[in-house]
Amino acid sequence: MTNRAAVVTGASTGIGYATVRRLAADGWQVWGGVRSDHDSSHIERIDGASSLRIDVTDDEQIETAFGEIADSRGYLGLDLLVVNAGVVVGGPLEYVTPSEWRRQFDVNVVGVASSIRCALPTLRLSNDPRIIIVGSINSRVGVPLLSPYAASKHALVGLSSSLRRELGPTGPRITMIEPGAVRTPLWDKAREASLQIDHDLPMAGRREYGDFVEKAVEHLTGSSSSGLSPDRVAVVIEKCVARRNPPLRRLVGVDARVAVALNAILSEKMFDRLIRRSRSGKY
């Protein structure tokens, strides 16, 4: 029986839920962060897992949750934090409101930073503390209609590298996971949002961005059916945690690796044209 303990935020579905299942199967004591009673019962059905009420936009709730972990674990501390909670805000930047931008960053950036901040004192008690930050291929490659999401994931790169250097060699080891397309409800919701954007765009917006929106719906439909399974990403997280010297960043999926390779080989202008072509059908 292991004494290792982990907290996974955004654990109700997708990558977070799959990670809770795999860690629990490996003998970890796991808390899955959720926002509702329904999701809580979903987590509680996993042997070795407990639910933890965490809305990452609620500072008081985050502090209370990690206070409960500290009380539960005592001197043993927390061995692993997987920060996975996230949302997708998309659309032509011209039509994305400031409140939508704030929501994107409140969840994907401030929520990540707040979770890490509250977990650090308990993580420091572990002999080998780890932090896994779930990013995206959009941490490296921005695409049309996803400016808010890509900007939030780029921000996590800066957060990760700055924090790693801030904590130094004696602090928790930090790995950023950057998957390509994954079959998760997150992207199903993004597809629904794209359809709504298409419906709400004024005539001028349709003329300017209609091709992008149409391709976005096609791409998101493909991601829902042919993307990586969440369990595949959870396996990579599991392997990174098991390594004595984990990677600083880890791409997951052929599409992610191909995109990064092309970005490195092609000039910026050529890569821009390639992305525009793939996302709108025209240069």
pLDDT of residue 145: 84
Q: What's the confidence (pLDDT) of residue 118? A: 98
Show the domains of the chain with their CATH numbers. 5-182+228-255 (3.40.50.720)
Q: What does the alpha-carbon distance between residue 281 and residue 283 come to, in Å, rounded to a whole number?
A: 7
Q: Nearest to residue 4, comparing CAs of 28, 25, 30?
A: 28
Short-list 46, 57, 30, 181, CA closest to 113: 57
Q: What is the DSSP string of 38-58?
A: HHHHHHHTSTTEEEEE--TT-
80-83, strands of its sheet edge to edge = 49-53, 29-34, 5-8, 80-83, 130-134, 173-179, 249-252
Per-residue pLDDT, 5: 98
The gap between the terminal CA atoms of the chain, to the nearest Å, is 58
Cβ contact 108:86 at 8 Å: yes
pTM equals 0.90
Q: Give the catalytic positions in this structure.
A: 149
Alpha-carbon torsion angle 39, 40, 42, 48, nearest 10: 140
CA 173 to each of CA 36, 58, 77, 80, 155: distance values in angstroms, whole numbers, following the listed order: 31, 26, 15, 10, 19
Do 181 and 222 meet the contact criterion of CB atoms below 8 Å apart?
yes
pLDDT digits (tens, 9 = 90+) for 43-68: 999 999 999 999 999 999 999 999 99
Q: Dihedrals φ, ψ of 6, to 5°? A: -140, 150
pLDDT the model gives residue 283 = 46
Residue with tokens 């704030």, as numbered in its chain: 102
Amino acid present at 31: W
Task: Tell me how far apart the alpha carbons of residues 255 and 12 are, in angstroms, rounded to a whole number.
Answer: 26
Please choose, from the candidates 137, 99, 184, 221, the residue with its C-alpha nearest in 3D space to the C-alpha of residue 213: 221
- Profile the chain (283 residues) by mean pLDDT over runs of 10 residues: 89 96 97 95 95 97 98 97 93 90 97 98 97 96 90 98 95 97 72 61 71 68 72 97 96 94 93 78 51
User: E strand or H helix at 15, and its extent?
Assistant: helix 14-25
